């Protein structure tokens, strides 16, 4: 993409425009890919439940996955890690915070007993990989290839347990089912191809533009990844959750957000580390802890009331904590 380099040489504002275009291509590409893959799966008689647990679940994490693959391939490993940690932090603190303020969020027992603890473990493992000597990291300074393999193994366990529980309790997995419109095989294949193109083009635009903006403004790629890139890749989940809350149907929010966080660390970050070990950056420990603390706050808030709701006060707490964290990170730019 030499033309992209030429365009970026004009000014940082061009990079900002290209990032917006990249996010549009990324989100639309993910939508097309999910629609096309779901139609093909339906054609082969695969149930809505299974499609929801696989195609749709993977599709919602495609923006983060593609951005990470492009970042790793281009050597922007700081962007690869902060894209994941930043997305998880925004998912928990901002998306659940805003959604709970609009309408209290109901929770399922399986989410409280399994999904949220797994999300906590995900953040702790990232912290362990870069902070202490362990098989997850190389001398406590990076997420190693072995660490990536271990994350993918845990991802496999998460998938197994999710499938097992969904098959045993289909009434709790209703939010995973989808109503797909009949699509011809030819059109479905076209959507898949178009989706993949949109994802690749969008990922390239976002990563290269983000790196250029960071260089021009004299800030680290980590800060750009934690803010602009992470927010952009989380926008679909934010829109979906807020719209559901306005319709008083926000019970899907916790499962979707926490599930996305687990996918991001165990699958996306695990795959990225296998391709190329991910060195730690200054400030990663507080980011990893924030990703963990967010899940802890949600879990404790759900456990403190008999209705097991994430109430408005909890949403306010999440947003206030995030505002304090973001202020600290921006004032202590490394």
pLDDT tens digit string along 203-214?
777 777 777 777
Higher pLDDT, 211 or 132: 211
Q: Residue 63's closest CA among 214, 232, 272?
A: 232
CA distance 239 to 241: 6
DSSP string, 48-78: HHHHIIIIIHHHHTHHHHHHHHHHHHTT-HH
Which residues span the domain enclosing 264? 2-331
CATH label of the domain that carries residue 202? 1.20.1420.30
pTM: predicted TM-score of the whole model, two decimal places: 0.82
pLDDT at position 51: 67
What pLDDT band is residue 3 in, cutting at 50, 70 and 90? very low
pLDDT at position 7: 45
pLDDT at position 128: 82
For 41, 42, 256, 286, the CA distances from 29, given in Å and listed in that order, are 18, 20, 20, 33
CA distance 108 to 87: 23
pLDDT (tens digit per residue) in 162-203: 888 877 776 665 544 445 567 788 888 888 888 888 887 887
Higher pLDDT, 235 or 223: 223
- Average pLDDT of the residues in 250-258: 76
**Count of the separate structural domains present in the chain:** 1
What does the mean pLDDT of the chain come to?
A: 81
What pLDDT band is residue 132 in, cutting at 50, 70 and 90? low
pLDDT (tens digit per residue) in 17-68: 887 888 788 778 878 887 888 888 777 777 665 666 567 667 777 888 888 8
Higher pLDDT, 57 or 12: 57
Helix and strand tally (H, E) in the chain? 17, 4
pLDDT at position 54: 65
pLDDT (tens digit per residue) in 304-318: 988 889 999 999 999
Residue 45's region, left for phi above 0, alpha for psi from -120 to 50, else beta, is: left
pLDDT at position 50: 65
Q: Helix 230-246 crosses helix 252-262 at what angle (to 10 degrees)?
A: 160
- Average pLDDT of the residues in 73-81: 81
What pLDDT band is residue 321 in, cutting at 50, 70 and 90? very high
- Average pLDDT of the residues in 262-278: 91
pLDDT at position 98: 92
Q: Residue 309's closest CA among 98, 92, 105, 115?
A: 105
Q: Is residue 138 pLDDT above 60, yes or no? A: no
Higher pLDDT, 328 or 128: 328
């Amino acid at each position: 993409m030499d033309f992209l380099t030429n365009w970026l040489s004009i000014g940082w504002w061009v990079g900002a425009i290209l990032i917006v275009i990249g996010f549009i291509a990324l989100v639309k590409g993910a939508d097309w890919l999910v629609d096309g893959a779901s139609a093909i799966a339906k054609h082969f008689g695969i149930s809505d439940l299974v499609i929801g647990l696989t195609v749709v679940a993977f599709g919602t994490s495609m923006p983060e996955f593609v951005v990470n693959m492009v970042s790793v391939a281009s050597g922007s490993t700081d962007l690869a890690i902060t894209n994941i940690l930043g997305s998880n932090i925004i998912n928990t603190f901002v998306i659940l915070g805003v959604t709970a303020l609009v309408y209290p969020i109901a929770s399922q027992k399986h989410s409280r007993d399994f999904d949220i603890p797994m999300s906590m473990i995900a953040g702790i493992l990232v912290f362990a990989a870069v902070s202490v000597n362990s098989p997850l990291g190389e001398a406590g300074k990076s997420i190693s290839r072995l660490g990536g393999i271990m994350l993918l193994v845990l991802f496999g366990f998460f998938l197994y347990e999710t499938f097992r529980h969904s098959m045993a309790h289909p009434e709790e997995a209703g939010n995973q089912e989808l109503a797909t419109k009949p699509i011809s095989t030819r059109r479905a294949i076209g959507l898949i191809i178009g989706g993949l193109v949109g994802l690749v083009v969008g990922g390239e635009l976002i990563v290269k533009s983000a790196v250029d903006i960071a260089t021009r403004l004299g800030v680290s790629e980590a800060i750009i990844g934690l803010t602009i890139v992470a927010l952009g890749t989380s926008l679909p989940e934010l829109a979906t959750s807020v719209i559901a809350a306005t319709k008083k149907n926000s019970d899907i929010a916790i499962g979707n957000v926490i599930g996305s966080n687990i996918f991001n660390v165990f699958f996306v970050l695990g795959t990225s580390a296998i391709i190329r070990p991910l060195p730690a950056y200054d400030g990663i420990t507080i980011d990893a802890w924030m990703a963990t603390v967010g899940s802890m706050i949600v879990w404790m808030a759900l456990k403190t009331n008999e209705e097991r709701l994430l109430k408005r006060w909890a949403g306010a707490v999440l947003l206030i904590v995030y505002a304090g964290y973001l202020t600290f990170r921006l004032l202590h730019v490394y």
